[in-house]
């Protein structure tokens, strides 16, 4: 009986659960009525306004400003390299940026990265290219036929370099759409007095959304700031330096010792033999005399 009672009430439990989910969806719709719609409209406007046939360009103005209101000092002689590390692919869902051939081992979702995350990614990719020159060689070649605009083979290369002029200007035109890694590879002229430019990523073209109106910028202009080179940090001397040892005087070499001449012993002659006999006989006579005297005293 109890089993049949549970089966009878089970449809009612499912109905209550579905009603609860429906109420939750309705609440979310009331709380955020325009968010999903706004995101959809923005994506649609982004896709609709994108011009796949328009070339991109990049202008860098390199300078140094000592104070906030002081005139900027242009930096000439900075050798700048740009490398297209990702291609722009536009679909109905919006843009995506897959990494190019040569960087297959890396994984980044560039659209979700913050400004700090993009700087970190730029540094990591720059370090990767330094340690994997074969990847840079692969990026120089155009292997994706789906890029926009269609490359003409003369100016639209994946890797390009240019040097800043007297006004600190560096210019690249005929850029295929995607993400570019900007690095400084050398320096002469005024740029020698300043620290190299840190690696940075640049979206080409760049999409800006201001006051609800989005716009694609195909001619990107950037003004990276430089800082002077820091002098090398001096090494402090030890607190208690050991006393200096006095210089060792140049002692003259010792003179070789002259061996002493041995004194020859006198020869053992016959006179010495006779003298010894006389001394011996005298001693015997004295002893005999002493013995005789003692015997006489006893008598």
Q: How far apart are CA 209 and CA 146, in angstroms?
A: 26
Within 8 A by CB and 6+ apart from 227, the residues are 64, 194, 195
Higher model confidence: residue 109 or residue 228?
109
Higher model confidence: residue 272 or residue 13?
13
The token duo for 239 is: 């607190």
User: Would you kindly state where each structural domain of the chain is located, as residue ranges?
Assistant: 42-222
The token duo for 58 is: 């990049």
Element (H, E) at 46: helix 35-49
Q: How far apart are CA 23 and CA 28, in angstroms?
A: 9
Average pLDDT of every residue of the chain: 79
Q: How far apart are CA 84 and CA 88, in angstroms?
A: 10
The token duo for 132 is: 């994997």
Residue 183, classified by CB atoms within 10 Å of its CB into exposed (0-12), middle (13-18) or buried (19+), is buried
Question: DSSP label at 51?
Answer: -
**Percent of the chain beyond pLDDT 90?**
47
**Length of the chain as a residue count:** 299
Q: Is the pLDDT of residue 60 over 70?
A: yes
Instruction: Let me know: does 140 contact 157? Beta carbons within 8 Å.
Output: yes
Distance of CA 145 to the CA centre of its chain: 35
Question: Tens of pLDDT along 162-172?
Answer: 999 999 999 99
Q: How far apart are CA 96 and CA 99, in angstroms?
A: 10
Instruction: Let me know: does 46 contact 214? Beta carbons within 8 Å.
Output: yes
| pLDDT of 141 | 85
Higher model confidence: residue 146 or residue 12?
146
Mean pLDDT over 256-285 rounds to: 54
Distance of CA 81 to the CA centre of its chain: 19
Q: How far apart are CA 170 and CA 204, in angstroms?
A: 16
Question: Tens of pLDDT along 243-270?
Answer: 666 666 665 656 656 555 544 444 444 4
| Distance (Å) of CA 95 to CA 48, 55, 111, 125, 247 | 12, 17, 9, 21, 78
Higher model confidence: residue 38 or residue 215?
215
Q: How far apart are CA 196 and CA 185, in angstroms?
A: 8
Tell the CATH superfamily of the 42-222 domain.
Immunoglobulins (2.60.40.10)
| pLDDT of 42 | 81
Sign of CA dihedral 269, 273, 276, 282: negative
Distance of CA 162 to the CA centre of its chain: 25
């Amino acid at each position: 009986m109890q089993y049949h009672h549970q089966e009878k009430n089970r449809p009612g439990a499912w109905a209550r659960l579905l009603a609860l989910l429906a109420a939750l969806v309705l609440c979310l719709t009331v709380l955020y009525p325009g968010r999903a719609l706004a995101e959809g409209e923005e994506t649609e406007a982004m896709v609709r306004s994108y011009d796949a046939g328009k070339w991109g360009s990049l202008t860098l103005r390199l300078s140094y400003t000592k104070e906030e209101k002081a005139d900027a000092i242009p930096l000439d002689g900075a050798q700048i390299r740009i490398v297209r590390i990702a291609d722009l692919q536009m679909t109905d869902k919006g843009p995506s940026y897959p990494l190019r051939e040569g960087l297959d081992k890396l994984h980044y979702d560039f659209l979700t990265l913050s400004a700090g995350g993009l700087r970190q990614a730029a540094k990591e990719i720059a370090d990767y290219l330094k340690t994997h020159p074969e990847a840079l060689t692969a990026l120089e070649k155009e292997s994706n036929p789906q890029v926009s605009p269609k490359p003409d083979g003369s100016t639209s290369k994946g890797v390009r370099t240019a040097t800043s002029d007297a006004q600190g200007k560096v210019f690249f035109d005929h850029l295929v759409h995607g993400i570019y890694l900007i690095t400084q590879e050398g320096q002469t002229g005024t740029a020698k007095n300043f620290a190299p430019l840190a690696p940075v990523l640049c979206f080409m073209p760049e999409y800006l959304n201001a006051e609800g109106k989005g716009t694609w910028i195909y001619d990107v202009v950037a003004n990276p700031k430089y800082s002077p080179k820091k002098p090398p940090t001096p090494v402090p001397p030890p607190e208690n330096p050991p006393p200096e040892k006095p210089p060792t005087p140049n002692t003259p070499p010792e003179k070789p010792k002259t061996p002493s001449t041995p004194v020859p012993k006198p020869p053992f002659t016959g006179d010495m033999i006779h003298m010894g006999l006389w001394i011996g006989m005298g001693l015997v006579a004295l002893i005999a005399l002493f013995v005789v005297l003692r015997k006489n005293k006893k008598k």
